[in-house]
Structure 1
Amino acid sequence: MLKIAFFDTKPYDKEIFEVLNKDYGFEITYFEERLSDKTVKLTEGFDVVSIFVQDKAPSFVVNKLYEYGVKLIALRCAGYNNVNFKAAQGKVHVVHVPAYSPHAIAEFTMSMMLTLNRKIHKSHNRTKDLNFSLSGLLGFDMYQKTVGVIGTGKIAKILIKILKGFECNVIAYDIYPDNNSAKELGFSYVPLNTLFKESDIITLHCPLTKDTEYIISEKSINKMKDGVMIVNTGRGKLINSKDLIEGLKEHKIGSAALDVYEEEDKYFYEDFSVEGVNDDILSRLITFPNVLITSHQAYFTKEALNNIATTTFNSITQFDEGKPLKNEIAYICDENGCAIKKVN
Structure 2
Amino acid sequence: MTDREPATTAARRDRSPAASPATGITVYGCGPDEAELFRELGPRLGVVPTVTEAAVSEDNAGLAFGNRCVSVGHKTRITDAALRALRRAGVEYVSTRSIGYNHVDVAYAKSIGVLVENVAYSPDSVADYTLMLMLMAVRNAKTVILRTAVHDYRLTDARGRELRDLTVGVVGTGRIGTAVLDRLRGFGCRTLAHDTRPRAAADYVPLDALLRRSDVVTLHTPLDADTHHLLDRGRIERMKPGAVVVNTGRGPLVDTEALAAALEDGHLGGAALDVVEGEEGVFYADRRHEPIPDGPLSRLHRLPNVVISPHTAYYTDHALRDAVHNSIVNCLRFESGNQRG
TM-score tier by shorter-chain length is: 0.7 to 0.9
Q: Is 1:31 matched up with 2:52?
A: yes
Match of 1:139 among 144, 160, 163: 160
Q: CA deviation at 1:18?
A: 1.7
Q: Is 1:61 matched up with 2:82?
A: yes
The residue aligned with 2:205 is 190
The residue aligned with 2:286 is 271
Distance 1:104 1:161 in 2: 14
Q: Does structure 1 conserve the Cα–Cα contact (< 8 Å) formed by 2:169 and 2:211?
A: yes
Q: Deviations over 1:262-305 (max 9, x none)?
A: 22221212211122323522122111111000011111111101
The residue aligned with 2:270 is 255
If the length of structure 1 is used for normalisation, what is the TM-score? Answer: 0.87
* Cα distance, 1:323–1:13 mapped onto 2, change above 3 Å: same
Distance 2:58 2:294 in 1: 23
Q: CA deviation at 1:73?
A: 0.2
Amino acid at match of 2:236: I
SS in 1 for 2:231: coil
* Cα distance, 1:87–1:275 mapped onto 2, change above 3 Å: same
Q: Is 1:85 matched up with 2:106?
A: yes
Q: Is 1:324 matched up with 2:316?
A: no
The residue aligned with 2:323 is 308
If the length of structure 2 is used for normalisation, what is the TM-score? Answer: 0.88
Higher relative contact order (CA 8 A, sep 6+): 2
Q: Does structure 1 conserve the Cα–Cα contact (< 8 Å) formed by 2:72 and 2:94?
A: yes
* Cα distance, 1:273–1:43 mapped onto 2, change above 3 Å: farther
Unaligned 5+ segments in structure 1 are 331-344
Amino acid at match of 2:75: Q
* Cα distance, 1:75–1:281 mapped onto 2, change above 3 Å: same
Match of 2:118 among 93, 96, 113: 96
1:194-233 map, 5 Å: 194-233=209-248
Match of 1:283 among 275, 298, 313: 298
Q: CA deviation at 1:70?
A: 0.7
The residue aligned with 1:294 is 309
Match of 1:123 among 120, 139, 144: 144
1:8-47 map, 5 Å: 8-36=29-57, 40=61, 42-47=63-68
Distance 1:220 1:124 in 2: 31
Distance 1:288 1:325 in 2: 47
The residue aligned with 2:256 is 241
The residue aligned with 2:5 is none
Q: CA deviation at 1:170?
A: 0.7
Deviates more, 1:265-274 or 1:54-63: 54-63
Q: Does structure 1 conserve the Cα–Cα contact (< 8 Å) formed by 2:92 and 2:115?
A: yes
Q: CA deviation at 1:51?
A: 1.1
Q: CA deviation at 1:41?
A: 5.3
Q: CA deviation at 1:145?
A: 1.0
SS in 2 for 1:172: strand
Distance 1:10 1:93 in 2: 24
Identity within the alignment, %: 34
Amino acid at match of 1:175: T
Aligned pair count?
A: 319
Distance 2:181 2:327 in 1: 28
Q: Does structure 1 conserve the Cα–Cα contact (< 8 Å) formed by 2:70 and 2:331?
A: no
Distance 1:37 1:171 in 2: 46
Distance 1:76 1:176 in 2: 25
Q: CA deviation at 1:135?
A: 2.2
Two-structure CA RMSD over aligned residues (Å): 1.9
Q: CA deviation at 1:144?
A: 3.4
Q: Does structure 1 conserve the Cα–Cα contact (< 8 Å) formed by 2:173 and 2:198?
A: yes
Amino acid at match of 1:319: F
Unaligned 5+ segments in structure 2 are 1-21
Q: Does structure 1 conserve the Cα–Cα contact (< 8 Å) formed by 2:143 and 2:305?
A: no
Match of 1:48 among 53, 69, 72: 69
